[in-house]
Each structure stands twice: as structure tokens, then as C-alpha cells.
Structure 1
């Protein structure tokens, strides 16, 4: 079968890499792809939001299955468009993808079905939002209602920070239409956890857990990013907590969407905070996480194409996932200035094929220029390593990072450190 992966980041590179291992996959296309993806797939210069051109590509090349990586095409209705054309595709439809497209929609659904989450209020008026913030005090969380590339959330430690966040989102509209409404939440404390699951109707098949590192700098300091690294498993969080999250959050959310008439067939990502009262939802996403995918898929032993097909065809209840026991850790190399403004086009050195077998470099923002990889995004590379435990995976990942260079290279030096320290206390 020929397969198309829509998107062009590190998550899509990991999807292409894993799909290529399936004996059912003959050839992979990726639109638009990136410099690294071009080594394993035919990259086609079509934007992820050009549904007509993507469908035309599928029909012209005889592509049998399409996998959508990023959230925006899902929220804009690519799945509806393809299904109307009779084309097989993986992902939730437009209505179901609202669980990510609108934070207020997701929060209201959780409130209606008693799914554990932070207390919240939604505002479309700046003055009312500012008044509420002063009533409840800090710390407090300010979220742009719509999509903001992982950067629309501010954990404000002071009232001044909260006001500044409201100004940016609602008055200055730094996230455009995503800031028409804000969700203001209580600030949860505890361990963060990323739990993704394949969901087909009421059937929920959880993946192994991971932990992301959102803040830009070491020690969880600085502005939020799309993610500066991740690791899996998360040894400081017990399997009982994960089972509780599946029982009290993922399964009830799947049931809630089915009860609301939402046809959810895809990946449901739950960003969780493990609090003293148990796991609570920070956010839901309607697709594979990034960079969590870069540490979860390397641990997947099962045929990814078969799992995706079963999800979209309603056969998920007959699937069992098999996982490697190894640990995986990913360090993101970013452009200087990210998540703010940054320059592109810097040559990348050290991307030799001699990197050891247990290390994989997933390209997130690269392109080729005269035969050499150059930077082409905020997050440039995700260096993922496998090891018998997190200590070994971490050592391998950072050893590989040391050999890769480009001007302005920035990365966190503490990915996985907290987990390793807590594990050995």
C-alpha cells in the first residue's frame, strides 16, 4: 500500500519512519515534509491545508491511506473532506477535533460528564477577565481558547504576569483569532503526564506514557514552547495512576463524545497533571503529541499501519499493542530565539549516518540547500535515543547532541533529569 503522511515536523518524521517498518507499506509520500523526511519518503510541496491538492495527489498516485499529523487540518475538516471523496484517512472529523480546537468546548464537555480537570471560567471580554483574575489571585493559568502552536498558555505566578498575558492574547491578539476567548483556570500542581490513546468510538487503546518539557529553559523556566524534549516511560508515576487516568478520564471522554454524537476515530492525547487528588486534565489534543511521538513510537513493536487502519475502520477492539521494554528520551535542538523570533538557513553539521543504531534524529524544521541540511524552523531536530533505562537513553541522546551543530543552537540540558533523580531517591 502507498501511504501519505500530512505535515512536515518531527512528529511526521517519526510517523513516516515507523510506517516504513510495516510490511504492508510499499511507498510513503509526505506533504510537505522536510529535509530529513525526504530520505525515507517522497516529499511533495503541498501545504497541509490544501485539501483539494492533497486529495488530487492521493488519487493520482494511487495512495491507499492518509495519516494526518498536525492539528490544524483536522480542525479545518480534512477528514470530512477526504471521506466525502471516498478516500481512507486517519484522524477525527471536524466536529470531534473541537476537543483541541476550542479549549472552552473541551472544558464544558468535561464539566458536563464529570471528568476531572481544573476549575475554570471562560471570558470574551478583557475587562471581565481582568476583574476575575484579581478576584481569584495568582498563581493562575491563562489560555487562548483556540490553537496557538503550543504557545497560548501562560502559567502566571503573579497578577502582573496574568494581566500581561490577557493583554497579549485579548488586546494585542498575538495569536490572532485564537485569542477571541480565554479560558482562565486554577493552577494545578503535581507531575505532568502525557497519555495518548487510539480511540474508535467507545473503544480506547492506551499507549505507553511520556513526559514532555514545555518551558524553553532548564529548570522549567522561560516561556512555553511546542516541547523541548520528552521521555518514556515515566518511572516516578505508578501504573495504578495510569490505570486511574484511563478509567476516570480517557474512557469517560470517549463515552462522552459518543454520547454527544461525535464520531471520534483517531488519537486522543490527554495532557494530565497528577495532583494529590489524582490525575486531572490540563488539555486534550486530537492527534499525536510532538515531541511525545518521538519517544512513544520507537517503543511500539506493533505494526503502526494496522493499528491506524483498525482505528479508522472500527476494528480497534480486536487489536492488542505490543511495546518494547526499553526507555526512550528525546532532546529537541531549537533555533536561537525560539519560541520567539529566530533566523533560518544555518548549515547543520554532524548529521552523519554513523550515529549509533539506538539513536534516531527526527527532523522537525530542516530543508536541504545544495546537498546540505539547513535550519528551517523553530524546533530543528529531535535527537531520540533508546536504552535499557532512562539513564542510558539520556547518555546516548546527549552524546549524539554534542556532535550536532548549527549557529544559534539551543537545547535544554535537563531532559529526563528530574525523573532519574526521583527514581533513585
Structure 2
């Protein structure tokens, strides 16, 4: 199989590593890719937000499968253009990607499907926001309705901060009731009718130890979750994932690709915090480190409506942990051009997944974004995987490097 992977970040590098280790993949291409992906795939320049350009690249390479990593190209209709060119594509249509592209739309779908979620109000303007904050109470949860790269949410007990965040969104916002309890990420492969869940993971959104500081795109993750209810996957599949896919099909916009359910395990039961329409980052890093099934066959079956013809995903025993190393100033700002050292000095079995890197004119590996690397390791237990991942972090360095020290601590 010839595969084209679209994207530039850590999620895509993790997928590229899994695809490169799949004996069924004869050629792996990526666009635009990054220096880490370049080690396992042939890179091609392309504007990911130009559906026609992506479709043209797809046909010129003669690939059998396109895998769309980031959300923005999906919302822009890249998957539609690839399918129109006659190539199988793992990723929802622009219409189906609205599950992530609009939080208000996702709430509408969940209501129609009977999916449990937080009470919410869609607001336009300061007066509506203020009324919703007063009605739902503190802690306040305010979300940008559109795409915000995982950082468009504020959770605060400060009403002025909540109002300021809403004002800065520049459009519709969703004000929600606060959901108590731990959060869990559950991904599912979807072929428009069927869902095949992966195993749960948990990520760490806050920038600082102890879940302090501002929200980020994710500072680390681990899987599996030894504390999670034993029937969590089965229950969420039955009450959240399958009903959502059924509702999307009923609307004439079948969901084909990766449905990401961000969940809160509240005192009143499981509630959906958000949907995403693609693999999550950094949870993908730990899931791909443990996946024991050939990835290409699963993605191709989902893309072609044949998930019932392939075995369900299988994961190895043990656990995996990833720790994100971010650039100075993240998440408020980021610094580029700092030389990265030590990526080849990590202990055996540790993957240094590139999230925001580039090559300088001198050929040095340098920082090129907020989240720079995701150092990932597997082990017999969460504690063993954590120790290996942090040993990898200790081997890598760049000026101003930031990371949390408590990812998966105490497990």
C-alpha cells in the first residue's frame, strides 16, 4: 500500500512511525511533514488548506490511501477533494468535520442523538454571555465556537476572566456548565456506520505541574488508565460513539475517520466535554506506541466502509507515557530557532516525536513552534513507561525548554 499522510506535527509523526512499521505499507509519503517524519517518509510541499492542491498531489503520487492529520484541512474540505479524485481518504468530509469545527453544531448533534453532555448556551455578544455565566454559575466554562487548536477554552472562577475570553473569541461562544471528575480521551475509528474504539488515554492540558497555569494543546499523556471503570469503553461506545455516528449518517453526512470523544467521568456519570474530528495530540503518541494491529489496514478499512471486514484494534500489554517539551514562553508565546541536542542520545526504545521542529540553514535541528517534541516510551507498567520517558527527556535539551515533571505521576 502507498500512503500519503498530511500534517506537520507530533500526531502525524506518531502516525508515520506506526505506518512505517507496518509491513503492508510499501511507500510512505508525507506533506508537508517535519524533520522527524522525514526519517521514515518522503516529504512533499503542499498547502494543506488548498483542497485542489492536495488532491493533485494525491493523484500525482498514485497513493492508495490518504490520512489527514490536522483538523483545519478537514474543515476546509480536503477529504472531499481527495475522495472526488477517486482515492480512499481517512478523514471526515467538511460537513462531518463540523463536529469539531463548530461546538454549537456538536451540541446540536449530541442533543438529537441523546448523547450525555454538559448543559450549554450558544451566545453572541457580551450581554448573552453574561446572562449565560449567571445562569450556569461558577466555575465558568467558555469556549470559542470555532477551531482554536485545543486552546480556545477557559475554565475559571473569575467572571471577568470568563467575559474577557468570550470577548476575545470574536464570534459565537459556547458557555457550558462545569463538569466535575477526571477527563478521559477515547478515540474511535469510524467508517460511516460502524465504530471501532481504541483504548482510553488521558492527557494533561495545563502548562504547569499540578494542573496549574493556562490551557495548552497538551503537555503529556498516558495509556491505559488503570483506575478507569472496567466497562468504560463498552459504555461510551454504546451511549456516545455509536449514537453520534448514527445521527451523522441520518443527516446525510456520514462520519468517516477518527471520532475523538473528550469525556468527563462526573459524579452523575459520563459526559462528553467535546468532540474532535481527528486523532488527538499527544494521546496519539501513546496509543501508537502500544498498537499491536497493522495501522494501514484499519485506516483503509474505515476509509472504504469495511471496518466489519478487519479485526478490531489490539493493543499490547503494558503502558506508554509521553512528555511534551515546549519552547520558552509557551503557551503565551513560542520561540523558534533554538538548537535541539540529544535526540539521538535517548535510551533504546524511546521515541522522540517531532511536533514543532525544523532544520536550520546549517542543518541543525531547531525549535519551530510551541510544543517542540513529545518524548514517548512504553513499559510493563505506567510507572516503568514514565521512568523511560523522563530518561529520554533528560537526554534532550534546547535553550528555554519547558516540560511538566508530573505526567502520569503516582500511577
Q: What displacement does 1:162 show?
A: 1.4
CA contact (8 A) 2:76 2:94 kept: yes
- Relative to the length of structure 2, the TM-score reads 0.97
Residue of structure 2 in register with 1:326 after alignment: 318
Residue of structure 1 in register with 2:221 after alignment: 230
Q: What pairs up with 1:27-66 in 2 under 5 angstroms? A: 27-66=27-66
Residue of structure 1 in register with 2:327 after alignment: 335
1:412 pairs with 392, 404, 409, which one? 404
SS at match of 2:338: coil
CA distance in 1, matches of 2:207, 2:153: 13
CA distance in 2, matches of 1:412, 1:349: 19
Q: What pairs up with 1:9-20 in 2 under 5 angstroms? A: 9-20=9-20
CA distance in 1, matches of 2:192, 2:333: 41
1:363 matched to 2:354? The reply is: yes
1:228-249 CA-partner distances (Å, limit 9, x unpaired): 1000001111222332212111
CA distance in 1, matches of 2:130, 2:297: 49
Q: What displacement does 1:340 show?
A: 1.3
Residue of structure 2 in register with 1:216 after alignment: 207
Q: What displacement does 1:264 show?
A: 1.1
SS at match of 1:374: strand
CA distance in 2, matches of 1:93, 1:247: 24
1:102-158 CA-partner distances (Å, limit 9, x unpaired): 000000111122210000110112222123213433112000000011110001222
CA contact (8 A) 1:130 1:166 kept: no
CA distance in 2, matches of 1:61, 1:196: 29
CA distance in 2, matches of 1:125, 1:80: 34
- Relative to the length of structure 1, the TM-score reads 0.94
1:315 matched to 2:296? The reply is: no
Q: What pairs up with 1:2-401 in 2 under 5 angstroms? A: 2-169=2-169, 173=170, 180-319=171-310, 320-352=312-344, 354-369=345-360, 370-401=362-393
CA distance in 1, matches of 2:182, 2:242: 21
CA contact (8 A) 1:134 1:159 kept: no
1:58-99 CA-partner distances (Å, limit 9, x unpaired): 222222221100001111111111111212211111111111
Tell me how many residue pairs correspond in the alignment.
409
CA contact (8 A) 2:5 2:69 kept: yes
SS at match of 1:321: coil
RMSD of the TM alignment (CA)? 1.3
Which sections of structure 1, spanning at least 5 residues, go unmatched? Answer: 174-179, 421-425
CA contact (8 A) 1:36 1:367 kept: no
1:385-411 CA-partner distances (Å, limit 9, x unpaired): 100000000001001101110011001
Residue of structure 2 in register with 1:177 after alignment: none
CA 1:364–1:160 in structure 2 vs 1: closer, same or farther (change >3 Å)?
A: same
CA distance in 2, matches of 1:112, 1:62: 40
Which sections of structure 2, spanning at least 5 residues, go unmatched? Answer: none
CA distance in 1, matches of 2:320, 2:207: 21
CA distance in 1, matches of 2:163, 2:172: 15
Q: What displacement does 1:161 show?
A: 2.2
Worse-matched range after superposition: 325-334 or 121-130: 121-130
